[in-house]
Protein backbone atom coordinates (compact mmCIF):
# COMPACT_ATOMS: atom_id res chain seq x y z
CA UNK A 1 0.00 0.00 0.00
CA UNK A 2 1.09 3.56 -0.68
CA UNK A 3 1.98 5.16 2.59
CA UNK A 4 2.73 8.63 3.91
CA UNK A 5 6.18 7.27 4.90
CA UNK A 6 6.92 6.92 1.20
CA UNK A 7 6.06 10.60 0.75
CA UNK A 8 8.39 11.51 3.60
CA UNK A 9 11.13 9.52 1.82
CA UNK A 10 10.42 11.47 -1.39
CA UNK A 11 10.78 14.70 0.60
CA UNK A 12 14.20 13.64 1.91
CA UNK A 13 15.33 12.59 -1.55
CA UNK A 14 14.14 15.81 -3.17
CA UNK A 15 15.77 18.19 -0.69
CA UNK A 16 19.09 18.24 -2.54
CA UNK A 17 17.46 18.38 -5.94
CA UNK A 18 15.34 21.41 -5.13
CA UNK A 19 18.45 23.54 -4.71
CA UNK A 20 19.76 22.32 -8.06
CA UNK A 21 16.55 23.30 -9.81
CA UNK A 22 16.79 26.94 -8.82
CA UNK A 23 17.41 29.00 -11.93
CA UNK A 24 16.92 26.04 -14.24
CA UNK A 25 14.09 25.35 -16.65
CA UNK A 26 15.87 26.55 -19.79
CA UNK A 27 13.26 24.87 -21.96
CA UNK A 28 9.52 25.21 -21.37
CA UNK A 29 7.09 22.70 -22.85
CA UNK A 30 3.55 24.10 -22.77
CA UNK A 31 0.54 21.91 -23.52
CA UNK A 32 -2.81 23.52 -24.48
CA UNK A 33 -5.40 22.18 -22.03
CA UNK A 34 -8.59 24.09 -22.87
CA UNK A 35 -11.82 22.34 -23.92
CA UNK A 36 -10.58 22.04 -27.51
CA UNK A 37 -7.24 20.53 -26.49
CA UNK A 38 -8.72 18.14 -23.92
CA UNK A 39 -11.36 16.91 -26.39
CA UNK A 40 -8.68 16.30 -29.02
CA UNK A 41 -6.47 14.24 -26.68
CA UNK A 42 -4.21 16.66 -24.80
CA UNK A 43 -4.30 14.72 -21.51
CA UNK A 44 -2.31 11.68 -22.71
CA UNK A 45 0.07 14.05 -24.55
CA UNK A 46 0.70 15.98 -21.34
CA UNK A 47 1.28 12.73 -19.44
CA UNK A 48 3.68 11.53 -22.13
CA UNK A 49 5.77 14.72 -21.77
CA UNK A 50 5.73 14.65 -17.95
CA UNK A 51 6.77 11.00 -17.89
CA UNK A 52 9.19 11.18 -20.82
CA UNK A 53 11.02 14.27 -19.52
CA UNK A 54 11.49 12.51 -16.18
CA UNK A 55 12.50 9.16 -17.67
CA UNK A 56 15.08 10.79 -19.93
CA UNK A 57 16.57 12.69 -16.99
CA UNK A 58 15.69 16.10 -18.44
CA UNK A 59 13.92 17.59 -15.42
CA UNK A 60 16.82 19.90 -14.64
CA UNK A 61 16.49 21.79 -17.90
CA UNK A 62 12.92 21.13 -19.06
CA UNK A 63 9.69 22.18 -17.35
CA UNK A 64 6.32 20.91 -18.56
CA UNK A 65 3.32 23.16 -17.95
CA UNK A 66 -0.25 23.66 -19.09
CA UNK A 67 -2.05 26.58 -20.65
CA UNK A 68 -5.50 27.41 -22.01
CA UNK A 69 -6.55 27.68 -25.62
CA UNK A 70 -3.60 28.53 -27.86
CA UNK A 71 -5.96 29.73 -30.61
CA UNK A 72 -5.64 27.09 -33.31
CA UNK A 73 -8.31 24.66 -32.11
CA UNK A 74 -8.39 22.73 -35.39
CA UNK A 75 -4.77 21.69 -34.81
CA UNK A 76 -5.17 20.46 -31.22
CA UNK A 77 -3.53 18.91 -29.29
CA UNK A 78 -1.01 21.75 -29.56
CA UNK A 79 2.33 21.86 -27.76
CA UNK A 80 4.59 24.90 -27.72
CA UNK A 81 8.28 24.74 -26.89
CA UNK A 82 10.01 27.88 -25.64
CA UNK A 83 13.77 28.06 -25.39
CA UNK A 84 15.83 31.10 -24.52
CA UNK A 85 17.38 32.71 -27.58
CA UNK A 86 15.41 30.57 -30.04
CA UNK A 87 12.13 30.94 -31.90
CA UNK A 88 9.09 29.31 -30.34
CA UNK A 89 8.25 25.95 -31.90
CA UNK A 90 4.58 24.97 -32.21
CA UNK A 91 3.82 21.27 -32.60
CA UNK A 92 0.29 20.35 -33.71
CA UNK A 93 -2.02 17.31 -33.76
CA UNK A 94 0.19 15.72 -31.15
CA UNK A 95 -0.04 12.18 -29.82
CA UNK A 96 1.93 10.40 -27.06
CA UNK A 97 3.99 8.69 -29.79
CA UNK A 98 4.87 12.02 -31.43
CA UNK A 99 5.67 13.40 -27.97
CA UNK A 100 8.21 10.62 -27.46
CA UNK A 101 9.87 11.57 -30.75
CA UNK A 102 9.92 15.27 -29.83
CA UNK A 103 11.50 14.45 -26.46
CA UNK A 104 14.18 12.33 -28.13
CA UNK A 105 15.02 14.60 -31.06
CA UNK A 106 14.13 18.12 -29.92
CA UNK A 107 14.49 18.18 -26.13
CA UNK A 108 17.47 15.82 -26.01
CA UNK A 109 19.02 16.38 -29.43
CA UNK A 110 18.19 20.04 -30.03
CA UNK A 111 16.73 19.28 -33.45
CA UNK A 112 13.22 20.53 -34.30
CA UNK A 113 10.94 17.75 -35.60
CA UNK A 114 9.72 19.80 -38.57
CA UNK A 115 7.11 17.34 -39.82
CA UNK A 116 4.97 17.85 -36.70
CA UNK A 117 5.16 21.65 -36.60
CA UNK A 118 2.33 23.98 -37.49
CA UNK A 119 4.35 25.22 -40.48
CA UNK A 120 4.30 21.71 -41.97
CA UNK A 121 0.58 21.29 -41.17
CA UNK A 122 -0.55 24.41 -43.01
CA UNK A 123 1.52 23.71 -46.13
CA UNK B 1 -15.83 14.20 -25.04
CA UNK B 2 -14.94 10.52 -25.03
CA UNK B 3 -14.88 10.26 -21.23
CA UNK B 4 -16.63 12.20 -18.47
CA UNK B 5 -13.26 12.44 -16.71
CA UNK B 6 -12.22 14.78 -19.56
CA UNK B 7 -15.24 17.01 -18.85
CA UNK B 8 -14.19 17.08 -15.19
CA UNK B 9 -10.66 18.09 -16.23
CA UNK B 10 -12.10 20.83 -18.42
CA UNK B 11 -14.59 22.23 -15.87
CA UNK B 12 -12.03 22.15 -13.04
CA UNK B 13 -9.65 24.20 -15.21
CA UNK B 14 -12.29 26.97 -15.06
CA UNK B 15 -12.03 26.85 -11.26
CA UNK B 16 -8.24 27.20 -11.54
CA UNK B 17 -8.65 30.23 -13.80
CA UNK B 18 -11.20 31.69 -11.34
CA UNK B 19 -8.36 31.95 -8.82
CA UNK B 20 -9.62 29.25 -6.44
CA UNK B 21 -7.36 28.10 -3.61
CA UNK B 22 -9.47 25.02 -2.81
CA UNK B 23 -11.16 22.87 -5.47
CA UNK B 24 -13.29 19.87 -4.55
CA UNK B 25 -14.25 17.14 -6.96
CA UNK B 26 -16.96 14.84 -5.60
CA UNK B 27 -18.21 11.79 -7.45
CA UNK B 28 -21.16 9.91 -5.98
CA UNK B 29 -21.92 6.71 -7.78
CA UNK B 30 -24.68 4.15 -7.31
CA UNK B 31 -25.76 1.29 -9.55
CA UNK B 32 -27.97 3.65 -11.48
CA UNK B 33 -26.57 7.15 -11.21
CA UNK B 34 -23.34 9.11 -11.25
CA UNK B 35 -23.31 12.50 -9.58
CA UNK B 36 -20.44 14.89 -10.25
CA UNK B 37 -19.92 18.03 -8.19
CA UNK B 38 -17.08 20.51 -8.67
CA UNK B 39 -16.87 23.13 -5.94
CA UNK B 40 -14.42 26.01 -5.82
CA UNK B 41 -13.78 29.16 -3.82
CA UNK B 42 -12.79 31.17 -6.89
CA UNK B 43 -14.05 34.61 -7.88
CA UNK B 44 -17.56 33.31 -8.64
CA UNK B 45 -20.01 34.51 -11.24
CA UNK B 46 -22.77 37.09 -11.19
CA UNK B 47 -26.40 35.98 -11.62
CA UNK B 48 -26.26 37.16 -15.19
CA UNK B 49 -23.12 35.11 -15.89
CA UNK B 50 -24.63 32.00 -14.27
CA UNK B 51 -27.72 32.40 -16.45
CA UNK B 52 -25.63 32.60 -19.60
CA UNK B 53 -22.94 30.02 -18.76
CA UNK B 54 -24.95 27.23 -20.42
CA UNK B 55 -24.87 29.17 -23.67
CA UNK B 56 -22.03 27.92 -25.89
CA UNK B 57 -21.57 31.43 -27.19
CA UNK B 58 -20.84 32.83 -23.74
CA UNK B 59 -17.32 33.07 -22.37
CA UNK B 60 -15.34 35.49 -20.24
CA UNK B 61 -12.48 35.14 -22.68
CA UNK B 62 -11.73 38.15 -24.80
CA UNK B 63 -9.97 36.31 -27.62
CA UNK B 64 -13.12 34.65 -28.98
CA UNK B 65 -16.79 34.28 -28.20
CA UNK B 66 -17.13 30.55 -27.67
CA UNK B 67 -17.09 28.63 -24.36
CA UNK B 68 -18.06 25.00 -24.73
CA UNK B 69 -17.11 23.41 -21.40
CA UNK B 70 -20.36 23.77 -19.42
CA UNK B 71 -22.71 23.37 -22.43
CA UNK B 72 -20.96 20.09 -23.31
CA UNK B 73 -21.39 18.75 -19.76
CA UNK B 74 -25.04 19.83 -19.80
CA UNK B 75 -25.69 18.07 -23.09
CA UNK B 76 -23.96 14.89 -21.96
CA UNK B 77 -25.95 14.80 -18.69
CA UNK B 78 -29.29 15.60 -20.33
CA UNK B 79 -28.87 12.94 -23.00
CA UNK B 80 -28.94 10.34 -20.20
CA UNK B 81 -32.07 11.86 -18.63
CA UNK B 82 -30.09 13.81 -16.03
CA UNK B 83 -29.10 17.45 -15.90
CA UNK B 84 -26.81 20.04 -14.37
CA UNK B 85 -27.06 22.93 -11.96
CA UNK B 86 -24.75 25.89 -11.44
CA UNK B 87 -24.67 27.93 -8.23
CA UNK B 88 -22.29 30.79 -7.77
CA UNK B 89 -21.62 33.72 -5.52
CA UNK B 90 -19.45 36.79 -5.90
CA UNK B 91 -19.98 37.99 -2.34
CA UNK B 92 -16.76 38.94 -0.59
CA UNK B 93 -17.08 36.56 2.35
CA UNK B 94 -18.42 33.53 0.46
CA UNK B 95 -17.44 33.60 -3.21
CA UNK B 96 -17.16 30.55 -5.42
CA UNK B 97 -19.01 28.21 -7.73
CA UNK B 98 -20.60 24.76 -7.48
CA UNK B 99 -21.36 22.85 -10.66
CA UNK B 100 -23.33 19.65 -10.22
CA UNK B 101 -24.23 17.11 -12.87
CA UNK B 102 -26.34 13.98 -12.63
CA UNK B 103 -26.03 11.10 -15.10
CA UNK B 104 -28.16 7.98 -15.48
CA UNK B 105 -25.65 5.22 -16.06
CA UNK B 106 -27.98 2.70 -17.65
CA UNK B 107 -28.99 5.05 -20.43
CA UNK B 108 -27.59 4.08 -23.82
CA UNK B 109 -26.07 7.57 -24.25
CA UNK B 110 -24.17 7.50 -20.94
CA UNK B 111 -20.51 8.31 -21.55
CA UNK B 112 -18.19 6.30 -19.29
CA UNK B 113 -16.23 8.09 -16.57
CA UNK B 114 -12.94 6.86 -18.03
CA UNK B 115 -9.49 7.56 -16.62
CA UNK B 116 -10.28 9.78 -13.63
CA UNK B 117 -6.84 9.09 -12.10
CA UNK B 118 -5.16 10.79 -15.09
CA UNK B 119 -7.54 13.72 -14.74
CA UNK B 120 -6.71 14.23 -11.06
CA UNK B 121 -2.98 13.93 -11.66
CA UNK B 122 -3.12 16.33 -14.64
CA UNK B 123 -5.00 18.89 -12.52
CA UNK B 124 -2.49 18.67 -9.67
CA UNK B 125 0.43 18.81 -12.13
CA UNK B 126 -1.04 21.94 -13.71
CA UNK B 127 -1.93 23.77 -10.50
CA UNK B 128 0.18 22.36 -7.66
CA UNK B 129 -0.44 25.36 -5.40
CA UNK B 130 -4.16 24.63 -5.08
CA UNK B 131 -5.65 22.35 -2.44
CA UNK B 132 -7.37 19.57 -4.37
CA UNK B 133 -9.93 17.48 -2.51
CA UNK B 134 -11.09 14.44 -4.46
CA UNK B 135 -13.74 11.99 -3.29
CA UNK B 136 -15.34 9.17 -5.25
CA UNK B 137 -18.06 7.33 -3.35
CA UNK B 138 -19.02 4.08 -4.99
CA UNK B 139 -21.56 1.92 -3.20
CA UNK B 140 -20.24 1.33 0.31
CA UNK B 141 -16.64 2.23 -0.49
CA UNK B 142 -14.80 5.39 -1.44
CA UNK B 143 -11.54 6.70 -2.85
CA UNK B 144 -10.31 9.92 -1.27
CA UNK B 145 -7.39 12.27 -1.74
CA UNK B 146 -6.67 15.63 -0.13
CA UNK B 147 -3.52 17.38 -1.31
CA UNK B 148 -3.41 19.40 1.94
CA UNK B 149 -2.52 16.13 3.73
CA UNK B 150 0.20 15.38 1.18
CA UNK B 151 1.58 18.91 1.49
CA UNK B 152 1.68 18.55 5.29
CA UNK B 153 4.09 15.63 4.87
CA UNK B 154 6.15 17.14 2.05
CA UNK B 155 6.60 20.54 3.66
CA UNK B 156 7.31 23.68 1.64
CA UNK B 157 10.45 22.41 -0.09
CA UNK B 158 8.88 19.83 -2.36
CA UNK B 159 6.26 20.84 -4.89
CA UNK B 160 3.28 18.66 -5.68
CA UNK B 161 4.18 18.69 -9.38
CA UNK B 162 7.49 16.91 -8.81
CA UNK B 163 7.36 13.73 -10.85
CA UNK B 164 7.83 11.38 -7.89
CA UNK B 165 4.95 13.05 -6.03
CA UNK B 166 2.61 12.93 -9.04
CA UNK B 167 3.51 9.26 -9.52
CA UNK B 168 2.81 8.57 -5.83
CA UNK B 169 -0.60 10.25 -6.15
CA UNK B 170 -1.45 8.22 -9.27
CA UNK B 171 -0.42 4.95 -7.61
CA UNK B 172 -2.29 5.88 -4.40
CA UNK B 173 -5.50 6.50 -6.34
CA UNK B 174 -5.09 3.35 -8.45
CA UNK B 175 -4.67 1.30 -5.27
CA UNK B 176 -7.80 2.93 -3.89
CA UNK B 177 -9.78 1.93 -6.98
CA UNK B 178 -8.32 -1.59 -6.93
CA UNK B 179 -9.55 -2.01 -3.36
CA UNK B 180 -13.06 -0.93 -4.41
CA UNK B 181 -13.49 -3.70 -6.95
Reported ipTM: the value is: 0.88
Sign of CA dihedral A99, A101, A104, A110: negative
Interface test with B, best of A4, A7, A47 (most B CBs within 10 A): A7
Is the pLDDT score of B62 beyond 80? no
Can you give the CATH number for the domain in which A61 is found? 3.40.30.10
Instruction: Provide the pLDDT for residue B68.
Output: 80
Instruction: Provide the pLDDT for residue B61.
Output: 56
Between A4 and B71, the more confident residue is B71
- List residues in chain B touching A: CB distance below 8 A: 1, 6, 9-10, 13, 17, 61, 63-64, 67-69, 72, 115, 118-119, 121-122, 125-126, 149-150, 153-155, 157-158, 162-166, 168, 171-172, 175
* Residues in CB range of B66: below 8 A, 6 or more apart: B56, B57, B59
User: Is A2 contained in some domain?
Assistant: no
Is the pLDDT score of B64 beyond 70? no
User: Is A73 contained in some domain?
Assistant: yes
User: Is A48 contained in some domain?
Assistant: yes
User: Is A101 contained in some domain?
Assistant: yes
Min Cα distance A26 → chain B (Å) is 17
Q: Which domain holds residue A101?
A: 23-122
Instruction: Provide the pLDDT for residue A18.
Output: 54
Is the pLDDT score of B96 beyond 90? yes
Mean pLDDT over each residue of chain B, to the nearest integer: 92
Number of domains present in the structure of chain A: 1
Question: How many contacts, defined by CB atoms under 8 Å, are there between A and B?
Answer: 83
| Domains observed in chain B | 4-180 (3.30.565.10)
User: Is A61 contained in some domain?
Assistant: yes
Amino acid sequence: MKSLEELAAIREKMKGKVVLREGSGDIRVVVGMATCGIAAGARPVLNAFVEGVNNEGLTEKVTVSQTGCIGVCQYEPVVEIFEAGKDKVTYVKMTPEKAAEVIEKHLKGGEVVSKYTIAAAVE
Amino acid sequence: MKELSLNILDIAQNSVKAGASVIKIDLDESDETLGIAITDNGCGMTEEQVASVMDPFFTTRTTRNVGLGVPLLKMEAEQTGGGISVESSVSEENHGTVIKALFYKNHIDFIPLGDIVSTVSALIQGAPGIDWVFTHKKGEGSVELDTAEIRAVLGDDVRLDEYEVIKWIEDYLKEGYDSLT
